[in-house]
Amino acid sequence: MKHNLPQFFSDSYEIGQKKVAQIHFDLASEQMAEAAPEAFSTGYENPDWRAMRRRQFQRGWSEYQRAKSILEALT
């Protein structure tokens, strides 16, 4: 059975893929936490602002999932 490894992040400073993935994981978590209240609130939000916050959340979610899969593959 062939295992598919996720695409690793670039490691310009050669600190190791595990550390790079952990940094991306933490930053993506913060990005999602910051965007979520306005992206998914039940109160009124300007539709353009809400759409921007949802895109930010989705970008963070994608980065979070990628980092998580790299961390799982390396452990």
**Residue 60 burial (C-beta neighbours within 10 Å; 0-12, 13-18, 19+):** buried
Q: What does the pLDDT look like over 51-65, one tens digit per residue?
A: 999 999 999 999 999
Average pLDDT over residues 12-38: 97
pLDDT at 1: 41
pLDDT at 3: 63
Distance CA 29, CA 8 (A): 18
What's the mean per-residue pLDDT of the chain?
Answer: 94
pTM value is 0.89
